[in-house]
Amino acid sequence: MLKINNLHASVEEKSILKGINLEVKAGEVHAIMGPNGSGKSTLASVIAGKEEYEVTAGNILLENEDIEELAAEERAHKGVFLSFQYPVEIPGVSVTNFIKTAINANRKAKGLEDMPANEMLKLIRSKSEMLEIDRKFLSRSLNQGFSGGEKKRNEIFQMAMLEPKLAILDETDSGLDIDALRIVANGVNKLKSKDNAVILITHYQRLLDYIKPDFVHVLYNGKIVKSGTAALAHELEEKGYDWIKEEVNA
């Protein structure tokens, strides 16, 4: 599904990713953990194709295709989805209108007609029910005045609507209370299949209690410095990151 080879990336001449290697196969869940500022969100943005980040070495293969030259929307059309750590506000554009536009843009890229309105409504209804999203919420302006939890739930709603091949969830758990966390995790689990993959960026073990990762990686100072199974996440929960920093700096 996704193969990252020796990826180096920088922004404004500042080098942030310094040789990332990662392989994610269909059907897998990978967790990426690591202290603040280590480059987790940058990695997510680079995979998604944010232009301000410059790839200085290495490459990213999506289903064996180098996506270097693809614009962000083209990567999205190929099934890359990023749940943002900080989703932006778009005043005056309702949650419904936004997702409708997104769905139809993706269909257009595949040469399909717009989704018929009744089908769209049905889909919106079923996905919002699954995530226990209130009808009124759907007509609010995108992310405007949303609580942290509402923003994250809305991201997962969009994911559920778009059914991506590769979902990258950047700290989707922060800002969620325990009930919301369960609902969101449940949504992610429902999406999971043998044909798609999930990358969870998180600080906390608690999300991983709900979504079981196959692999856990620690990102530190722009590199993956340790990889392991779910047990590694428990270890990090107990001991923090200092011992890893020491190991790296030793």
Q: Would you put residue 14 in left (φ > 0), alpha (ψ -120 to 50) or beta?
A: beta
Q: Name the residues that contact Mg ion, by CB under 5 A.
A: 40-41, 85
Least Å from the CB of residue 239 to another protein = 35
Q: Name the residues that contact another protein, by CB under 8 A.
A: 48-52, 71-73, 76-77, 80-82, 84, 87-93, 97-98, 101-102, 105-106, 109, 141-142, 158, 162
Residue 61 CB neighbour total at 10 angstroms: 15
The site partner of 39 among Mg ion, another protein, ligand ADP, none (C-beta below 5 to 8 Å per kind) is ligand ADP
Pairing assessment for the beta strands 166-170 and 141-142 based on DSSP bridges: unpaired
Q: What angle do CA 156, 181, 3 make, to 5 degrees?
A: 55
The site partner of 46 among ligand ADP, Mg ion, another protein, none (C-beta below 5 to 8 Å per kind) is none
At 117, is the secondary structure helix, strand, or coil? helix
What residues have CB less than 8 Å from 185, skipping those under 6 apart? 207, 210, 211
| Of positions 4, 7, 42, 67, contacts ligand ADP by CB under 6 A | 42
Q: Does 11 bind ligand ADP (CB under 6 A)?
A: yes
Q: Which residues bind ligand ADP (CB under 6 A)?
A: 11-12, 14, 16, 34, 36-42, 52
